[in-house]
Amino acid sequence: MSIENISNNKCFGGWHKQYRHRSSTLNCEMRFAVFLPPQINTGVKVPALYWLSGLTCTDENVMQKSGIQRVAAELGIAIIAPDTSPRGDDVANDDSYDLGQGAGFYVNASQAPWNRHFHMYDYIVKELPEIIEQHFPISEQRAISGHSMGGHGALTIALKNPERYSSVSAFSPISSPVNCPWGQKAFTAYLGAEQADWKAYDSCELINNATRFVPALVDQGNDDQFLIEQLKPQLLEAAARAKNYPLQLNYHDGYDHSYYFIASFIESHLRFHAKYLR
């Protein structure tokens, strides 16, 4: 698994680096970013937080806008930020922002033409950690987080793989994609018309069937423009309450869907994960 370094920036005593590689899972070239905290200089492996971004985003959004590196450097946590989908001239796409390139939804597509490249679930769960742990002084201790579509991805991946992640968090997640327009559109395209197949990637359904629990933290802005139609956090809250699932869901007046919201609360998410990574 060879990777090519394409940028390096010193940051809070550590390093922000970007790489590209050929993905065998996605059948295309992919890019990811990694923040390596200064603790790697002590010769010990550090744990990692995988960050999944939302619709239209790349690896750059969280690294440039959230301020995540300052606290990650203090706590000795590496940050791994993959792209949100396969990309390239031969990768299927759509004219709308919420389907195709930039909108992988962290599922394994089963429907043509998407099934040739769109296997973001396997990429995040399997291929990318193998690459990271092969090439960097990063341990197998993993947490996962994300925003919006990436919040959906983080929750579903942790719920489906409780043995791989010590904790999960999300900002403004798509809480129940089977019940919102974004999810219904993407799942129809990627997974087909059979709605029973969609439930395997719905956080509320996964909580209902959970037998092992991963501690979860969710923050949601009350002034989020997508709150009512797309995000539906009340469904996630109800599912967790019915299952007695260890979910802390916080609402914040005045905050919207932007990275200003994420930057305001990213420190509390990192400190939440640090408790379980240790």
Active site residues: 148, 224, 257
239 vs 236: CA distance, rounded Å: 5
143 vs 150: CA distance, rounded Å: 14
Tokens at residue 106, please?
């962290």
Per-residue HEC secondary structure of 107-135 comes to: CECCCCCHHHCCEHHHHHHHHHHHHHHHH
Q: Do the beta carbons of residue 62 and residue 81 sit within 8 Å?
A: yes
178 vs 176: CA distance, rounded Å: 5
SS3 category, 4: strand
Strand order in the sheet with 4-11: 4-11, 14-23, 28-36, 78-82, 46-52, 138-147, 168-171, 216-221, 247-252
Q: Do the beta carbons of residue 62 and residue 49 sit within 8 Å?
A: no
Number of alpha carbons in the 13 Å side-chain half-sphere of residue 237: 12
> What is the dihedral angle through the alpha carbons of 21, 27, 31, 33, rounded to the nearest 10 degrees?
-80
CB atoms closer than 10 angstroms to residue 10:
8
CA 145 from chain centre, in angstroms, equals 5
